[in-house]
Structure 1
Amino acid sequence: MAEKSAGKTKVTVDVDGRHLTLSNLPKVLYPEAGFSKGEIIDYYSRIAPVLLPHLADRPLTVKRYPNGVDQHFFFEKNAPRGTPDWVRTITLPVPGSTKNRETIDFVIVEGLPTLVWLANLAALELHVPQWRVPRRARKPRTDLVVFDLDPGPPATIAECCEVAAQLRYVLEADGLTPFPKTSGSKGMQVSAPVEVDDPELTSKYAHSVAKRLEKAMPELVVSRMAKALRPDKIFVDWSQNNPAKTTVAPYSLRAKADPTVSTPLTWDEVATGGHLSFTAGEVLDRVDEYGDLFAGALDDANRVRVRAAMVTDE
């Protein structure tokens, strides 16, 4: 059913048994592409079967663009006022919060209704940590290590692919199984499923791998964070493994001129390079053809225990 409110159209829909009121569906949030809020909700609804497993049990940080990608946005970690009581939230400590909070009530996406509710809030970008909090867990479980490959202009994603290929070699030599994806922006990420006893260990391990890459490819790779070192190089950002940090989720939209998506890739695509920017419609077609190319990052059969002995710069 549809209803009028303050001159704006609202539509009430049933999503897996939850009644949601969607508003301003024709509103264009990607002006250059003419991509509307309704199309954003449609994309997230259709991509949900492959996206939801990558959000499951992970406290969510979103970037909201209520007036479009060319207007003001804000990060949101705390569950917003009016969050439905059926949306799962979890209260976690946030030491060092910039807003002087001791805890935050994070949203955890457990199904399509929560995903649609977030899309209706213009939560375009979905960011998650490299750890999960299953319902029966006593503490968070680190299950991924991630390497964020950030090109310093004039370097591009083509150079990221060169570094990713070498990174794959290093990780596989350590027994890990890596999976690549675009960031949906200018760079890419490579993730691998892991187990650790110490949640700080993945950051130490990733830092050591970044330094090994810098040693092997000094003309192309930098592992240090100083921006002055980055022009024409690929910064291998290992710091995203800090438990307090997040990385854009696979299949999340990005707030660019076009509705680009953080897109899982094949290693053949990485080796070939070329056009590696995909929009929402293209990603839906890719999933129809390939399925979830990032599914292996959640597969326990691929999970390797990272030990302190693996932290080496050699």
Structure 2
Amino acid sequence: MTPITEVEGRRLALSNLDKVLYPATGTTKGEVLHYYAATVAGPLLTHLRDRPVSFLRYPDGPDGQRFFTKNPPPGTPSWVRTTPVPHQEDKKARQVVVRDLASLMWAANLVVEFHTPQWRAGTPGIADRMVFDLDPGAPATVVECCAVALWLRERLAADGLRAHGKTSGSKGLHLLVPLEPTPSDRVSAYAKELAVQAEQDLPDLAVHRMKRALRPGKVFVDFSQNAAAKTTATPYTLRARPEPTVSAPVTWAEIEECRTPGELVFLAGGMGARLERYGDLLGPLADPDRAGRLPDGW
């Protein structure tokens, strides 16, 4: 029998709670739901707020089938908010907006990674943050990503912009920059220019082109996730990896001092202690007073 629980007045059927989703650690679906409800609900909901969500579903764990969906899944309750996100293929398309604990737990019960764009519902294509996805090509690792991140931090600071870091939850690092509302195409153009400059200044370390033949041993500075149609793993989401890794906010001291890849791997079980120690390191992303402005000409 599927247990029924009540969350903020909403009745939810939470299924297969004993199912092992992460065999490497024996982490069950029930433990995943507890992570979202009891450990990270507050900061995660802050970063999901008013953003249409795309889901990478992996209901049988990271070794099972995975599928990416932007449309509300079949059976989405009527109380789960959706928002219009029209696009060329479907002018009437809508996506889920996770706005409260009940809708967070409904979504988590589907076993998903949460992915969000750089803009908010109601203002598609008007970004309030910029992102750089630093993706290492083997044998490069997150250690090399940290070196590129430090270069980007200084370059952004020269333009009056403040960057904040998080792990991707996979192999790389994300840098996020809070912005005054700015058209996504302008943000993309500026981010591309910095990626090109990174390659010019760090020719043995960085590359701005996606072509895989160029990437071994280097860090791909992916600026493309600033495009209005693209999304990035939401802070605090679990990832479909062998272990329950988290896309976890990190301090600049951790980035500066990273010497081995394992130093920037964070699992669900450790996030409570990190939040107690640091709070939400990405809190400034949600503070309009911290938002920066692109330099003149962009």
What TM-score results when the alignment is normalised by the length of structure 2? Answer: 0.95
| CA deviation vs aligned residue, 1:134-183 (integer Å, no higher than 9, x gap) | xxx46553100000000000000000000101110001111011100000
Matched, 1:304 2:298: no
Percentage identity across paired residues of the two chains = 48
Q: 2:62 aligns with which of 66, 69, 81?
A: 69
Distance 1:68 1:284 in 2: 23
The one-letter code sitting in structure 2 at the alignment partner of 1:249 is: T
Matched, 1:201 2:180: no
**What RMSD over aligned residues (CA atoms) do the two structures have, in Å?**
1.3
Secondary structure, aligned partner of 1:93: coil
Q: 2:164 aligns with which of 179, 184, 205?
A: 179
Alignment CA distance shift 1:129-1:138 (3 Å): closer
Structure 1 range deviating more: 281-290 or 205-214? 281-290
The Cα shift of 1:226 comes to: 1.2
The Cα shift of 1:271 comes to: 0.2
What TM-score results when the alignment is normalised by the length of structure 1? Answer: 0.91
The Cα shift of 1:292 comes to: 0.3
The one-letter code sitting in structure 2 at the alignment partner of 1:119 is: A
Q: 1:230 aligns with which of 206, 211, 215?
A: 215
The one-letter code sitting in structure 2 at the alignment partner of 1:169 is: E
Distance 1:139 1:202 in 2: 14
Q: 2:72 aligns with which of 50, 69, 79?
A: 79
Q: Who wins on radius of gyration, i.e. which is larger?
A: 1
The Cα shift of 1:66 comes to: 1.4
The Cα shift of 1:197 comes to: 4.2
Matched, 1:20 2:12: yes
Secondary structure, aligned partner of 1:81: coil
Alignment CA distance shift 1:145-1:138 (3 Å): closer
Identify the residue that residue 117 of structure 2 maps to in structure 1: 129
The Cα shift of 1:79 comes to: 0.5
Matched, 1:90 2:79: no
Identify the residue that residue 244 of structure 1 maps to in structure 2: 229
Q: 2:94 aligns with which of 97, 102, 105?
A: 105
Secondary structure, aligned partner of 1:200: helix
Q: 2:26 aligns with which of 34, 43, 49?
A: 34
The Cα shift of 1:199 comes to: 2.4
The Cα shift of 1:68 comes to: 1.4
Distance 2:126 2:202 in 1: 33
Q: 1:148 aligns with which of 133, 137, 152?
A: 133
The Cα shift of 1:104 comes to: 2.2
Alignment CA distance shift 1:33-1:202 (3 Å): same
Structure 1 unmatched ranges of 5 or more: 5-9
Q: 2:50 aligns with which of 57, 61, 67?
A: 57
**How many matched pairs?**
294
